[in-house]
Structure 1
Amino acid sequence: MNQAEHLFEDMARASPVGDARGHRRTLVRNGQRLPYQERIRLKKLAQRRGEREKKENETIGLKIGTLNVGSMTARSHELVDLMERRKIRIMCLQETKWKGSKAKELGNGFKLFYIGDDGRKNGVGIVLDEELKKGVLEVKRSSDRIIWLKMEMGKLVVNIMSVYAAQQGCADEEKEKFWEELDEEVRKIPAEEKLWIGGDFNGHVGGDNRGREETMGKFGYGTKNDGGEELVTFAMRHNLWIVNTFYKKATRHKITYQSGGTQSQIDYVLCRSNDKNTKDCKVILGESITGEIQRRSQRAAWSIHRSGESIRQGATGGDVVVYEKEERPREVHACCARHVQGK
Structure 2
Amino acid sequence: MTRPTLQDHLEGWSQADALRRDIASAVIALADAGRQISELLAAGPLAGALANVRGYHADGDSQKELDVITDDLVREALSEAPVALFGSEEADAAVVLNPAGTLAVAVDPLDGSSNIDTNATVGTIFSILPYIGTDSLLQTGRAQLAAGFLLYGPQTALVLTVGDGTQIFILDRASGAFLLAEQRALVLPETAEYAINASNLRHWDVAIRCYIEDCLAGADGPRGKDFNTRWVASMVADVYRILVRGGVYLYPGDARRGYGHGRLRLVYEANPVAFLMEQAQGSATDGRLPILDIVPEHLHQRVPLVFGSRAEVERIARYHRDAAAMPERSPLFGRRGLLRA
Whether the TM-score (by the shorter chain) exceeds 0.5 is no
Report the structure number with the largest CA radius of gyration.
1
Which structure shows the higher strand fraction?
1
TM-score normalized with structure 2 length:
0.24
Structure with more helix by fraction: 2
Higher normalized contact order (CA 8 Å, seq sep 6+, divided by chain length): 1
TM norm structure 1? 0.24
